[in-house]
Chains A and B, each alone.
Chain A
Amino acid sequence: MKEYIKSLFKKHENFKGWNFYFDKHPVMVLFYSLLTIAFVLVVSFTALNLIMVILVSSKMIVQPVSNNLSFYYLGNFLVNASANSMYLGFLGEFLKPAIYTDIFGNHSFIMSLVGYIIRTMPTIFFLIYFRQILFSAITNNPFEKKNITRLRIVGLIFLLTPFIIVLSVSIFDLTGFSRNLISFSNLMKMSVSYGFYNFYNIVGNIHFLFGAFILVVAEVFKLGINLKEENDLTV
């Protein structure tokens, strides 16, 4: 496990220092640094939200918002009227931790934690794999076999996260009252009330299109690898 986590952040063996690559591809290096900042922001905010989930579910602090879904937003003033109208995709999930509440109003610590982790995992994995692809494109050659699997995972994340999120919200984050009424129609209503993760939303369906497109790009990468191999052989 430790080795796997280390391998996710390992630099290439022939890494020549950032100055060398900045002269070659300045825009890409700038994007890579921006992505690193975004990654740190997302991870730190997720950790902060996890602490808030623990505090609220153990009733150490009182939950300020109580509606049907009992969402608790970190800093409720951050997410006001206009916030929900912006399409954030699955990358906005780390901003919305939810507290699981049963019929009697008791919070469940494990359920709310698991629900939040399931919803934020796609974001973190997407950022990790995209960082690796970008790193290989800057420092080495992008046409390597590892990048195909990375791109496939990213494509699958795009395709499957709406389903994962809607399911996890319906299982882990609903209040006890609504949870007793799990059915397909209830799930659809749930997904509609959950904002942009609904299957009627045409803009939300762009997610699926991006996923399909990235899977196609992964197939195209195979051709690139063949080209690279031919090129290496002739040289």
Chain B
Amino acid sequence: MKTNNSKRILLLSLSFFNIMFGIFIGIAGLSIFFLVYDLASPGYYYRGFFMILSRLGIQLTSPIHDYYGDYGIFASFTSKYVTTFLAFFYSSIFLTAILYVLNQIRSILKISYSDTPFTMKASMSLKKIGTVILFVPMFFLILWFALYINMVSKSNFGPSFWNHWSWAIFFLKIALYCLYYAILGIFFFALGEVFNRGHQLKQENDLTV
């Protein structure tokens, strides 16, 4: 960057981001360790992994507690090993997605620290972040759909009504709760497009000069 002030801001934000990134990787590693620990010891309940995480104040942003366990949805038709595998699979997908997004942001910050921030790489990374965020609701949609089917099939849990209104409410809820991810995804996608425009401008400028 040209001015000293913005250089300082960028350097500060980069270091702040690096610290947060490190903390996140540490916690992700810890959670995977707990999961493996639970898998290895048959006396322990594999749900304890999530209990320990919640005691630490870390909430995974997926409704995994609702789906796994003795009364969870998958317990009714799958074995413990399969449910454990599914828990591992889903949580690893989620953690990988977050790590991927953080890594992309880090690479963009590094590019913006250089003299030419408007590159195709930055634009593509921003668009990738947007796409990943746009795909997050799909993850929840599958789990919620499974939960809904489970709630309807069990008469003693969840809604006792089985009519068209319950479906309407279900889809309204999905639409409302996916708004955050849709808007955030579009935001990053739009920023990517703006960087692309900046790249084109830079090329034009270089050609004319």
Question: Taking beta carbons and an 8 Å cutoff, which residues of A are in contact with B?
Answer: 25, 27-28, 31, 34-35, 38, 41-42, 45, 75, 77-83, 85-89, 91-92, 95, 127, 130, 133-134, 137, 141-143, 192, 196, 198, 200-203, 205-206, 208-210, 212-213, 215-217, 219-220, 222-224, 226-228, 230-231, 234-235
Q: Considering the chains assembled together, what is the distance between the CA atoms of A25 and B198 in angstroms?
A: 15
Chain B residues, CB < 8 A from A230: 205
- Contact of B59 with A31 in the complex, beta carbons under 8 Å: no
Q: Considering the chains assembled together, what is the distance between the CA atoms of A35 and B176 in angstroms?
A: 13
Chain B residues, CB < 8 A from A25: 193
Cβ of B87 within 8 Å of any chain A Cβ, yes or no, is no
Q: Considering the chains assembled together, what is the distance between the CA atoms of A35 and B180 in angstroms?
A: 11
Interface string of B183-198 (1 = CB under 8 A from A): 1101101110110011
Q: Which of A89, A205, A216 is most buried by chain B, counting CB atoms within 10 A of its CB?
A: A216
Chain A residues, CB < 8 A from B4: none
Chain B residues, CB < 8 A from A202: 23-24, 27, 58
- Contact of A28 with B147 in the complex, beta carbons under 8 Å: no
User: Contact check: which of B177, B190, B209 meets A92 at CB < 8 Å?
Assistant: B177
User: Contact check: which of B13, B140, B208 meets A215 at CB < 8 Å?
Assistant: B13
- Contact of A213 with B179 in the complex, beta carbons under 8 Å: no
Q: Is the interface of B mostly helix, strand, loop or mixed?
A: helix
Cβ of B2 within 8 Å of any chain A Cβ, yes or no, is yes
Q: A42-B179, A206-B98, A212-B16 are in contact. Are A82 and B193 (CB under 8 A)?
A: no
Q: Is the interface of A mostly helix, strand, loop or mixed?
A: helix
User: Smallest distance from the beta carbon of A142 to chain B beta carbons, Å?
Assistant: 4
Q: A78-B169, A130-B183, A201-B58 are in contact. Are A95 and B63 (CB under 8 A)?
A: no
- Contact of A201 with B9 in the complex, beta carbons under 8 Å: no
Q: Considering the chains assembled together, what is the distance between the CA atoms of A224 and B205 in angstroms?
A: 11
Chain A residues, CB < 8 A from B140: 86
Q: A82-B144, A86-B63 are in contact. Are A231 and B204 (CB under 8 A)?
A: yes
Q: Using A42-B179, A196-B59, A202-B24 as known contacts, list a sample of 9 further A-B pairs with CB atoms less than 8 Å apart, ordered by residue number in A.
A: A92-B177, A202-B58, A203-B98, A213-B17, A213-B105, A223-B118, A226-B2, A227-B198, A234-B209
Q: Looking across the interface, which residue of chain A has its beta carbon closest to that of B148?
A: A82
- Contact of B193 with A137 in the complex, beta carbons under 8 Å: yes
- Contact of B193 with A91 in the complex, beta carbons under 8 Å: no
User: Contact check: which of B147, B186, B191 meets A217 at CB < 8 Å?
Assistant: B191
Cβ of B202 within 8 Å of any chain A Cβ, yes or no, is yes
Cβ of B20 within 8 Å of any chain A Cβ, yes or no, is yes
- Contact of A227 with B24 in the complex, beta carbons under 8 Å: no
Chain B residues, CB < 8 A from A92: 177, 180
- Contact of A75 with B169 in the complex, beta carbons under 8 Å: yes
- 15 sampled A-B residue pairs with Cβ under 8 A: A28-B190, A31-B186, A79-B173, A81-B66, A86-B140, A88-B180, A143-B197, A203-B59, A209-B17, A209-B102, A217-B112, A219-B6, A223-B2, A226-B2, A234-B205
